[in-house]
Structure 1
Amino acid sequence: MKKRVVVGLSGGVDSSVAAYLLKEQGYDVIGLFMKNWHDDTVTISDECPWLEDSNDAMLVAEKLDIPFQTVDLSEEYKERIVDYMFREYQMGRTPNPDVLCNREIKFDVFMKIALSLGADFVATGHYCRKGTFEKDGQEIHKLLAGKDPNKDQSYFLCQLSQEQLAKTLFPIGELLKPEVRKIASEQGLITAEKRDSQGLCFIGKVRLPEFLQQKLAPIDGVIVEVPASFSEYKRSQPVFSSEEEKFKYLSTKRIYTKVDGKQVGIHHGAHYFTKGQRKGLAVGGTKEPLFVIDTDVEENIIYTGQGKDHPGLYRRGLFVKNEEIHWVREDLKLAENEKMEVLARIRYRQTLEKAILHRTVSGLYVIFENPQSAITEGQFVAWYNGSELLGSGVIS
């Protein structure tokens, strides 16, 4: 019996080639398109019109001669992703919908539908790889970076579990993007030259303020510029009575008040902004561009600093609460008071940085060798051993 694989056909070149390769490898392939979004009023131009994508996915399935159907997951998507985003932004955190979309939609809701169709595996067009080995009589799956360093998407899959990985295939993980396009072109697939989709997973490019305004009303507040000479930045490190006290100090974000700087402008809602943001402030006349160094949604104030080297942007550590620590490699999970040297990143496409994980009674501290810019609450930190992603957590 051929093994059956359901491929999430998105209407893009990557999933198209994934389906082609699986068919070549002798799998019984079914193409499934996920419709997750109805509201076109907040998308910019026609960057991600689901109709065009679904049509392209259908044409690819026809060309490959595989069965195809569309599933409407917009209700689950709204509940698990969109509502979550609104809640996070309201609290002044910056969520990562793409990571969640993989955990909650593609590898949960979608996977369950695929398995109900008799699938042995689910496959996607992600640029990452899977390795499997045996340990103590148990199969263990490794989530590995894609071979194309410019396209590696392992970070977006940092919340996957062993159960999900066991049922997943990543057919293009060993290929570079130009190779993927070449295969699509040779096979006459309509998606061969199609541009990569931009913006939120499934929604496409949205104007974030307009998107958030559906739930979070605009409310004017002040923009405060904090000078690089601010006394708090000059304070010398205190003496610590314990290791944990030191980790906490390195991971705690600074608290600003209005008097720490000068008012330089007006904004329309602190919850529309995120740390490290440069665009959308509409404040001119500064020697260097202004960057958001913090937002206060309670007081509706945005704190900014001049230049990407402003000390207010940098911090050496971050904290993940117990309930938000996730290990892809559960067999490597740290026990209390254990530590581990890793490479870590706090956003997609950031180069991996040396760090040490410290597990304490209250959670996990990630202390970097070098200070990191714009560590943002609500985003995910992911840690690696070489090219293998071991785990992740929500920055608290």
Structure 2
Amino acid sequence: MKRVIVGLSGGVDSSVAAYLLKEQGYEVIGLFMKNWHDDSVTISNECPWLEDSNDAMIVAEKLGIPFQVVDLSEDYKVRIVDYMFNEYEKGRTPNPDVLCNREIKFDVFLKIALDLGADYVATGHYCRKGEEEINDEPVYKLLAGIDDNKDQSYFLCQLSQEQLSKALFPIGELTKPEVRKIAAEQDLITADKKDSQGLCFIGKVRLPEFLQQKLQPKEGVIVQIPEDSAIYNREIPTFHSKEEELAFFSTKYEYTISDGKVVGKHQGAHYFTKGQRKGLAVGGTKEPLFVIDTDVVENVIYTGEGKNHKGLYRNVLFVSNEELHWIRTDLAMQNGASMEVLSRIRYRQKLEEATLYKVETGMYVAFKNAQSAITEGQFVAWYLNDELLGSGVIS
């Protein structure tokens, strides 16, 4: 019997994952990861870890599998929370869920599982794993989940071949309603439990208050840039190479306060992200204002009216070599190469046609259609059909 350690989160997905593995004849052990202690910044009982670990324990009892809680809060603080503060301070917007999978579930947690003699770790992610022999070597593939509505492959876009080799995704072939149905038939306490929101394992966090623990509030101005600003009529030069052209179109618009009018005040540019609409508290416009850029050095937020504002859209983004990651290392591109792919810049976004261009310093991703709110610090992931090949941090 192969031994599998399941990350039981106290939700329905991981509960059903554990049940299915047991049905398939694996020796299953449930572990709950406790990653956070500070309840002062979570929102009123929305997702306190205690209730979740309790639910996970009840599920383990029901399934007749061993269960324990592991405290990973030290690692979580260093690898996820400190990283988040650091990124926000630089004016970038991190994705803690992607990092949590790479750094915690499939690293710290995986090591604990291997120490317990496990052959695999399993999670309740809606994605699938494939395997193929290429040049006599096993190559592991990360495939989208069957349920288009719930596909979570994006969150695993930073996994390595090594990590994938040890991973199982038991519910990847199922839809969410099917998962809930199995949980109900097995009388699992989590069958009707709401999906958790918010940070991976912290629960619903009040982000500004969370960030304020480290990043001090600092009053600055909100500037509205008009749609017909001369900035958007920049002259397009003659390009001598494809790379010059890509570099030009991947460069974001540069704003100064004199480009627009001051319409309000904020408590810190580092609390805001591109594309954000809520929390600006500025009235008097026909359509809502959206953040089109933030300047953390001058502490200014630039906004535009309406979700079609020119300042929100761009076709090309860049990923530096240091932040470029291939799950399929055998398909990694050489300088000068290009590849037609499908790509997304955030979870739940539908896949968009794009072309990858590998250059000496990194890689450009050029979308066929302009994308809204391409945000530094977020991950871009690229696919061939339903296989996720790689990802990178948007520079």
Q: TM-score, normalised by structure 1?
A: 0.99
1:167-213 Cα deviation digits (max 9, x unpaired): 00000000000000000000010000000000010111111100000
Secondary structure of residue in 1 paired with 2:284: coil
Counterpart secondary structure, 1:283: coil
Aligned-pair CA distance for 1:104: 0.1
Matching of residue 25 in structure 1 with residue 24 in structure 2: yes
Q: Which amino acid aligns with 1:185?
A: A
Partner of residue 112, structure 1: 111
Which secondary structure does the structure 2 equivalent of 1:216 belong to? coil
AA aligned opposite 1:276: G
In structure 1, how many angstroms separate the alpha carbons of the residues matched to 2:227 and 2:202?
Answer: 38
In 2, Cα distance between the equivalents of 1:47 and 1:387? 34
2:311 maps to 312
User: How far apart are residue 55 of structure 1 and its match?
Assistant: 0.4
Q: Which residue of 1 aligns with 2:167?
A: 168
- Shift of residue 110, structure 1, vs aligned partner: 0.1
What SS does the corresponding residue of 1:143 show, helix, strand or coil?
strand
Question: 1:222 maps to what in 2?
Answer: 221
Q: Residue 357 of structure 1 aligns to which amino acid in structure 2?
A: L
Shift of 1:350: 0.4
Match of 2:11 in 1: 12
Is 2:190 aligned against 1:191? Answer: yes
1:47 shift after superposition: 1.2
Per the TM alignment, residue 232 of structure 1 is displaced from its structure 2 partner at its CA by 1.6
Match of residue 180 from structure 1: 179
- Aligned residue number for residue 73 of structure 2: 74
Please state if 1:147 is matched with 2:146: yes
Distance of 1:215 and 1:142 partners within structure 2: 39
1:99 is matched with 98
Per-residue Cα deviation, 1:283-313 (whole angstroms, up to 9, x for no partner): 0000110000000000000000000000000
SS at match of 2:216: coil
1:200 maps to a residue whose letter is L
Letter in 1 for 2:269: A
Q: What are structure 2's unaligned runs of at least 5 residues?
A: none
Match of 1:375 in 2: 374
- CA distance in structure 2 between the aligned counterparts of 1:60 and 1:237, rounded to whole angstroms: 61
- The residue that corresponds to 1:303 in the other structure is 302
Q: In 1, distance between residues paired with 2:175 and 2:17?
A: 13
Q: Corresponding residue for 2:236?
A: 237
Question: Which segment drifts farther, 340-349 or 236-245?
Answer: 236-245
Structure 1 runs not aligned, ≥5 long: none
Counterpart CA distance in 2 for 1:250 and 1:384 is 22
* Cα distance in 2, alignment partners of residues 148 and 243 from structure 1: 38
CA-to-partner distance for each residue in 1:106-129, whole Å, 9 max, x for gaps?
000000000000000000000000
Measure the CA separation in 1 of the matches of 2:383 and 2:68.
37
Counterparts of 1:282-361 in structure 2, within 5 Å, are 282-361=281-360
- Residue 130 of structure 2 aligns to a residue whose secondary structure is strand
RMSD between aligned residues: 0.5
Mapped to 1, the partners of 2:269 and 2:234 lie a distance apart of: 28
Deviation of the 1:237 alpha carbon:
2.1
| Residue 363 of structure 1, CA deviation | 0.5
Identity of aligned residues (%): 76
What CA distance in whole angstroms lies between the structure 1 residues aligned with 2:170 and 2:128? Answer: 8
The separation in 2 between residues aligned to 1:353 and 1:250, in whole angstroms, is 18
1:241 partner amino acid: H
1:329 maps to a residue whose letter is R
Matches within 5 A, 1:254-269: 254-269=253-268
Amino acid at match of 2:351: L
Corresponding residue for residue 250 of structure 1: 249
> Could you say which residue in structure 2 is the equivalent of 1:200?
199
Q: Within 2, Cα distance between the matches of 1:263 and 1:346? A: 30
Cα deviation for residue 242 of structure 1 reads: 1.4
Whole-angstrom distance in 1 between the partners of 2:70 and 2:141: 29
Measured against aligned partners, the alpha-carbon deviations of 1:322-365 in whole angstroms (never above 9, x if no partner) come to: 01100000000000111100000000000101000000001000
Question: Displacement, 1:236?
Answer: 3.9
User: Could you say what secondary structure the match of 1:139 adopts?
Assistant: strand
Any idea what SS the aligned residue of 2:129 has?
strand
The equivalent residue for 1:38 is 37
Q: In 2, distance between residues paired with 1:239 and 1:204?
A: 50
Partners in 1 of 2:5 and 2:377 — Cα distance? 32
Amino acid at match of 2:229: F
1:13-43: CA deviations, max 9, x gaps?
A: 0000000000000000000000000001111
Alpha-carbon distance in 1 for matches of 2:234, 2:92: 27
Deviates more, 1:38-47 or 1:78-87: 38-47
The letter for the 2-side match of 1:356 is T
> CA shift at 1:235, angstroms?
2.6
- Tell me the SS of whatever aligns to 1:87: helix
Q: In the aligned structure 2, how far is the partner of 1:313 from the partner of 1:237?
A: 19
Distance 1:126 1:189 in 2: 18
Deviation at 1:234, TM superposition (A): 1.9
